[in-house]
A and B are shown apart, each in its own frame.
Chain A
């Protein structure tokens, strides 16, 4: 091997990774530099340059990718460092949840392991992809200056409520609860195939549906109390956490214990929706508990 040929091959490898407009100039300069560095090393060693010397020089100089990176300006930041941990956690949790929901089909024999992997297993990767696309969009908006997040003192008193918003939410709570409670009487009077599609399982109605009523009533009373007081008291916060946990337990029981609807597709869809609601409540609960932990504490006294 001729040392100059090795340098030439190395420089061409670097040039391939450079912007077309600067490629030739940088390549020419780099080739001259490496030739001079090699001559310097040969002088120091008191012998002519050989293969080992040129390879050692190029190894010390860096891989072609590293060298090309030094010439590139810092690129657009897609995930800012302070968001990397949250992004990774959210991506992993989303992936694992989807796998946790779809893997039972392998164990109950309705899906082969290969079928699971080629279907829901690989399909679950839509979530990190979706997150990346949104992160790209956010990075692009930040770059254009259209989206500059600013801190606002909205959480100085996170326990204070907006009475109008809460009253509006409570009104919809009552309407929604009334519709759901009256479903067993409403469904038979619906037009077309709807009574058959939405028919509730009698066992579900008799044995498992009723606990939702005291839970809803309790939540309503709690929110009404907060509305009157104008803020969340520590007791109200604790009751809210207990109520959320109880609601998740009820949803899990409903999903696991048996049919809710007589029609199988409706029942499957309802379980999926309830599972999603349970996941959202759990995530919200975890986030709230985590935020409660973030306080400014006095340091421990030192002697």
Chain B
């Protein structure tokens, strides 16, 4: 955090990362996942996210009606598993299309031929 505050580049990187967080989380919830396993899945794919950010985000997405959740008691402590519902699937498809269009636009802009 100190680094992000001191270095404007790091701060902007953080903002970019924050912007795609919802899409990254939704992309990993086609199957049931609980918070800790979801975090590990994201970290393994190069998208580390703090637990303190992930859990409230999951709850917010659920309250927005794009995630379904259920409690499971297996080994260890009770865990809340999350998964996309129908609205979530639709939103993921919509955001994915938008992301791909954005990547194309940005690619053009960064290569200097954005018209």
Question: A residues near B, CB below 8 A?
Answer: 22, 25-26, 28-33, 35-37, 61-62, 66-67, 70-71, 73
Question: Which of B16-24, B77-85, B107-115 interfaces with chain A?
Answer: B77-85
A67 partner residues in chain B, CB cutoff 8 A: 52
A26 partner residues in chain B, CB cutoff 8 A: 55, 59
A35 partner residues in chain B, CB cutoff 8 A: 76-77
Bound CA span A25–B76, Å: 17
Bound CA span A49–B62, Å: 33
28 residue pairs A–B, Cβ–Cβ below 8 Å: A22-B59, A26-B55, A28-B71, A28-B78, A28-B80, A29-B55, A31-B77, A32-B36, A32-B76, A32-B77, A32-B78, A32-B79, A32-B80, A33-B35, A33-B36, A35-B76, A35-B77, A36-B36, A36-B76, A36-B77, A37-B51, A61-B51, A67-B52, A70-B52, A70-B53, A70-B55, A71-B55, A73-B60
**Is B56 part of the contact surface with A, judged by Cβ < 8 Å?**
yes
Count of B residues near A, CB < 8 Å?
15
B 3-43 to A, binary, CB cutoff 8 A, 1 in contact else 0: 00000000000000000000000000000000110000000
B36 partner residues in chain A, CB cutoff 8 A: 32-33, 36-37
B53 partner residues in chain A, CB cutoff 8 A: 70
Bound CA span A67–B52, Å: 7
List 5 extra interface pairs beyond A32-B77, A32-B80, A36-B36, CB under 8 A: A29-B55, A32-B76, A36-B76, A37-B51, A70-B55
- A71 and B76: CB pair below 8 A? no
Contacts A26-B59, A33-B36 given; does A61 touch B52 at CB 8 Å: yes
Bound CA span A32–B56, Å: 14
Nearest CB in chain B to that of A62: its residue: B52
Which of the residues A25, A37, A71 comes within 8 Å of B56, measured between beta carbons? A71
